[in-house]
Chains A and B, each alone.
Chain A
Amino acid sequence: MTGTTAGRGPHPATTSGSDTEQLTADSAEDFPRMPAGQRPLRGFPSRLRCGVALDELIDQVADDRAPQDPAHQRGCPYCRAALSELHEIWAPVASLIDEPIEAPPSLLGSVMERVGALAANNWHAVVPDPPGRTSTAAWVIAVIARRAAAAVPGVIAVTGRVAPPVVVLDSDASTGLVAEPVPTSRQQDLAAGTGVAGATVVVSLVLTADGTQPLQVLAQRVREQVIAHVRELAGLAVVEVDVLVEDVRLPPVS
């Protein structure tokens, strides 16, 4: 704001009577009138007669900071009068800043209720990949499993989901993947459908079959396909594939 200081005019000569009254009268008469909508403050010009920009004083009051030019301000009736008025007008704003505002007691509960519902499908399967580890979101694994199942001849439609295994294996000989030991807190999270699972998952699928082959045979092919795809794409061991054949659309009898 040094530019503002440099632009100031000479300090005003001593005026008779009250400085404040004089300032107000001069403000109305001596400064070019701005359209009402553009006038920053009704009682003030944008620049005082001493040349100080009103903004500078507003910042000083609102930020409660020291004046840019203390020597000038001490001797300038325009600045002192304007500051006095600005302090008075700004006082309620300053007191509002100190007003304590606390969240209502119900906020935490209502937020966590919704978060809990969202988190139910928000767990990740984690494969240790030194020097880091790879996390795969549950819904990604579900997509892989569903697409693998849908590609099996005889499957018309498929929905399904994945879940962490209820019993976490210490190791899985078929894949060589080592499931992470699950600490108590993690088991609690997983029981609630949240948190981080190990490298093993359970897939549950609901199929519509086309009725061209025995359903048990179809289910077995789906299992093999799902296990192979999830292992290949996500690096995860599917320890269980539960298949529910919910519907069958038989070909028309000729």
Chain B
Amino acid sequence: MPGETDSAVVPAALDAATVDAATVEDEELVREARRGSVHAFEVLVGRHQDRVFRLAFRLTADRAAAQDIAQEALVAAWRGLPAFRGDASFPTWLYRITQNAARNHVTRQRVHTQTTGEEPAAAEQQPERLTENKGRTAALHAAIAALPFDQRAALVLYQFEGLSYEQCAEVLGVSMSTVRGRIARARHGLLTTMEPWR
């Protein structure tokens, strides 16, 4: 079945920039990556790494942590590809993996703080502790990072990443009404914290 075989395999040139990777749909690349094509997966990573990193950064307000989380999430995506059935879109699935990785990171950080007594990282600082000259953007980052993780994740996915309530529910594994409640509480929290910065 030479013809069939050829059409089913991602061209080797996909990793050599001689083929415009933008013309290949996610679904086709996922299919090939699931069969073991590292090249196809590399194209997917290149295409989606910004959104993975962005979510990780907005959930932690810490670039170094975000890079660790993004790397962990993308490698986990490769490991998890055989179980990915395409029920959700590939980006939605990546969001789910990334927010799980971020949640694990934040949990580990909290346990570390509790067991060692070390000062919380900058991302965990309370907005009130920031000096005024750091400005309201820093205060806002800190205010987002200070929200409980569940609220933060819902807010970031909906407000910053532009997902619908339904997509947020899919990523977070909760009902749409829970998503709405978390977003409402997160908005209250942010507004309350940012009120003095008007």
Q: Is the CB–CB distance between A185 and B45 below 8 Å? A: no
Residues of B within 8 A of A85 (CB): 198
How far does the alpha carbon of A29 sit from the alpha carbon of B92 in the complex, in Å? 47
Residues of B within 8 A of A114 (CB): 71, 75
- Across chains A and B, the number of contacting residue pairs, with CB separation under 8 Å, is 137
Interface status of B149 (Cβ within 8 A of chain A): no
Interface status of A252 (Cβ within 8 A of chain B): no
Interface residues of A in 122-141 (CB under 8 A from B): 122-124, 128, 135
Q: Is the CB–CB distance between B194 and A188 below 8 Å? A: no
Q: Is the CB–CB distance between A111 and B9 below 8 Å? A: no
Q: Is the CB–CB distance between B195 and A122 below 8 Å? A: no
Among candidates B57, B75, B184, B187, residue contacting A118 with C-beta atoms closer than 8 Å: B75
State the interface size on chain A (CB cutoff 8 A): 50
Q: Is the CB–CB distance between A43 and B53 below 8 Å? A: no
Residues of B within 8 A of A58 (CB): 184, 187-188, 191
Q: Is the CB–CB distance between B35 and A124 below 8 Å? A: yes
In the complex, what's the smallest C-beta–C-beta distance from A239 to chain B, in angstroms? 20
Residues of A within 8 A of B159 (CB): 62, 93, 97
Interface residues of A in 95-149 (CB under 8 A from B): 96-97, 101-104, 106-108, 110-112, 114-116, 118-119, 122-124, 128, 135
Q: How large is the interface on B (under 10, 10 to 19, 20 to 34, 35 or more residues)?
A: 35 or more
In terms of DSSP, what is the predominant structure of the interface of chain B? helix
Interface status of A34 (Cβ within 8 A of chain B): no
Chain B residue, CB-CB nearest to A138: B36
Q: Is the CB–CB distance between B36 and A55 below 8 Å? A: no
Q: Is the CB–CB distance between B78 and A101 below 8 Å? A: no
Among candidates A88, A115, A122, A181, residue contacting B198 with C-beta atoms closer than 8 Å: A88
Interface status of B114 (Cβ within 8 A of chain A): no
In the complex, what's the smallest C-beta–C-beta distance from A188 to chain B, in angstroms? 6
Residues of A within 8 A of B54 (CB): 101-103
Among candidates A92, A111, A180, residue contacting B5 with C-beta atoms closer than 8 Å: A180
Q: Is the CB–CB distance between A107 and B67 below 8 Å? A: yes
Interface residues of A in 144-194 (CB under 8 A from B): 180-181, 183-186, 188-189, 192, 194
Interface status of B167 (Cβ within 8 A of chain A): no
Residues of A within 8 A of B170 (CB): none
Q: Is the CB–CB distance between B42 and A101 below 8 Å? A: no
Interface status of B117 (Cβ within 8 A of chain A): no
How far does the alpha carbon of A43 sit from the alpha carbon of B196 in the complex, in Å? 10
Q: Mark B132-154, 1 if CB is under 8 A from A, else 0.
A: 00001100110000000000000
Residues of A within 8 A of B52 (CB): 103
Q: Is the CB–CB distance between B38 and A194 below 8 Å? A: yes
Q: Is the CB–CB distance between A115 and B38 below 8 Å? A: yes
Residues of A within 8 A of B41 (CB): 112, 115
Chain B residue, CB-CB nearest to A180: B5
Q: Is the CB–CB distance between A115 and B78 below 8 Å? A: yes
Known contacts A93-B140, A114-B71; decide if A180 and B49 are in contact (CB<8 Å). no
Interface status of A31 (Cβ within 8 A of chain B): no
Interface status of B100 (Cβ within 8 A of chain A): no
In the complex, what's the smallest C-beta–C-beta distance from A178 to chain B, in angstroms? 9
Q: Is the CB–CB distance between B45 and A112 below 8 Å? A: yes
Known: A55-B184, A112-B42, A114-B75. 6 other contacts (CB 8 A): A40-B191, A89-B191, A103-B52, A108-B42, A118-B78, A194-B36
Supply 18 A–B pairs (Cβ within 8 Å), ascending by A: A86-B191, A89-B195, A92-B136, A97-B160, A101-B54, A102-B53, A103-B52, A108-B46, A112-B38, A112-B42, A115-B42, A118-B79, A119-B36, A128-B1, A180-B1, A189-B36, A189-B37, A194-B37
